[in-house]
Amino acid sequence: MEVESGDLQIVVPGDVVGSTSELQCGQGCFVRGTSIHASVVGKVLVEKSEDKKVTDNNEGGNQPAVLVDSHKPRISILRPQSLVQEVVPKVGDTVTCKVTKVSPRMANVDILCVGPKAVRGNGFRALIRKENVRISEVDKVVITECFRPGDIVRAEVAALGTARSFELTTAKNEYGVITAVCSSSKENMIPISWQEMKCPVTNIVEKRKVAKV
């Protein structure tokens, strides 16, 4: 394998890092449709595979090698320790978080990244209140139809809390669920609208507040 040289790009979960038409999906990535997305915060690494060649077994054996197979480069996301920093969210910051608990009034989450910077340790606790999920029809929001435990969510810090707790909002098109796993197949789901995601294996459709990525 040959590793692509140069500065490595830092990405966070949900970021598009490539296409299946050009790359193989490696560690720290997942496929959604024809796009390859990051599933962890880290640096993009592309490893180039060597072409496989065979030589025609003619008399004298002096025919040039013939290319019979060519592998796509493999893209992976590495998480160097240097990316894990002592960073504290502030109002207006974009954060990546994981849903830990859902109740009728709010979703509890752990903040994993502030921008492209991973948070040390267990991160910061935060919550997304029902009224901060979206801009329109706030009174019709059903939290369990927007988020589920295990979902990876992109949000914005709306207010500072106490004891390492923050209030977040997803009331913009670019905020919401960026990665979700089907409750039946455990496969990564594909967004089909701003409020639905579909399992590519079972075709089950589940409701979410989907981020526009």
Q: What is the pLDDT along the chain (213 residues), one digit of tens a residue?
A: 444 434 567 787 778 888 888 998 888 888 887 888 888 778 888 887 655 444 444 445 455 544 434 578 888 888 766 555 668 889 999 999 999 999 999 999 999 888 878 887 667 899 999 999 999 888 899 999 999 999 999 999 999 876 668 999 999 999 999 999 898 888 889 999 999 999 989 999 999 999 987
Half-sphere exposure of 188 (CA within 13 A, CB side): 18
- Note the pLDDT tens digit of each residue in 155-177: 999 998 766 689 999 999 999 99
Give SS3 for 7: coil
Query: Could you tell me which of 23, 28, 36 has the C-alpha nearest to residue 71?
Result: 23
Give SS3 for 42: strand
Task: Measure Cα distances from 82 to 42, 95, 116, 117 in Å.
Answer: 10, 19, 12, 10
Average pLDDT, the chain: 82
Task: Measure Cα distances from 158 to 70, 76, 106 in Å.
Answer: 49, 33, 14
Q: Distance from CA of residue 37 to its chain's centroid?
A: 6
d(CA 39, CA 28): 5
d(CA 145, CA 165): 24
